[in-house]
Chain A
Amino acid sequence: MTGSTSIVLAAILLGAGTFAFRFAGPALRTRVELPAGVERLLVVAAVVLLAALGGTASLLDGHHFAGIARAAGVGVGGVLAWRRAPFVVVVMGAAATAAGLRLLGVP
């Protein structure tokens, strides 16, 4: 029983902390008017974070290489996106490539 109490507490800690992270920007932004340069920097920062998240998630699973199937899937998705294929085609293409390769036994 102590086990589940500490798990609940930990889950709530994670939830509350995550909310605090999310709320910080919106809460602080209403108090200060940001100069246009800073505003732009923040948007670029978000793009950099999303790109890094996508990059690591394509190639790595924790500390290790995630495997050829996933990397190739994201690669196909990337090429499709670059050729301005519709979003649905990009996402389906990535998933289908990874799934297909795995079906063929590629890790």
Chain B
Amino acid sequence: MRSIWRTLDEGLARDVALVCLADAIVGVSFGAITVSSGLPVWLPMLLSVAVFAGAAQFMFVGLVASGGNPIAAAVTGLLVNVRHVPFGFAVGDLLGKGWARRVAGSHLMVDETVAFALVQRDPERRRAVYWACGISLFVCWNLGVMIGAFGGSVVNDTDAFGMDAAFPAVLLALVLPSLRDAATRRASLVGVVIALATAPFLSAGLPVLLALLGLGVGLTGRREGKPVQAEPETAS
């Protein structure tokens, strides 16, 4: 465990800490909003430990608080979380071999940990930042939620602090270096357009998944862009 923290340099550790702080503040609001909408005080904490995925948790609580069927709310939350399947294939090699590591590492797989890991070139740093970010986020998120649940409406409106703009900015900043690659950039641009165009009409979670269709465009584009690689016409 100690080697994880040693591999991180100061700058990377500071970036992770900043994201943890932002998420903790959002966690406080999640706890406060859940309790103030009349739901039991243990619910935000149970969700934050068992689900550990902010968007799905907000979705679940919002639906249940407005009188929705809890099972239907869980299914909606699951739809929001399907994106973790492709995430798992992308970062699965970072978790290590043992059973315990794979179980713990999988549970720590959230947007931020995946984004932080993907920008690192060196495999050792990838692994280190994945675990460091995952563990600290889990601790900070749950602490924040607990404070919010018990502390009540201290920070009810995190939008006033611009926290709703911080999350997309974090993702953008972490994804940007990968966009230097032309095929990735094309695929992402098309994906974002698809997600934005379909989001007003589809259930939450689906638009982001549909963005994967952008992969087709990105990769076809690459093939068209390199006609040089074609086979020599006559071999005989």
Chain A residues proximal to chain B, CB less than 8 Å: 4, 6-19, 21-30, 41-60, 62-64, 66, 69-70, 73-74, 77-78, 81-82, 86-88, 90-91, 93-100, 102
Contact = CB atoms under 8 A, between A and B. Distances in A.
Given A10-B71, A21-B84, A53-B83, A48 B215 contact: yes
B18 A47 contact: no
A51 B171 contact: yes
The main secondary structure of chain B at its interface with chain A is helix
Contacts of A41: 215, 219
Interface string B1-33: 000000000010011001100100000000000
21 contacts: A4-B40, A11-B50, A14-B50, A16-B50, A17-B81, A18-B51, A22-B87, A25-B85, A25-B87, A28-B92, A29-B89, A48-B214, A50-B174, A51-B175, A52-B188, A52-B211, A54-B172, A74-B172, A77-B173, A98-B164, A99-B162
B162 A23 contact: no
Given A4-B40, A25-B91, A54 B171 contact: yes
A96 B164 CA distance: 11
B107 A19 contact: yes
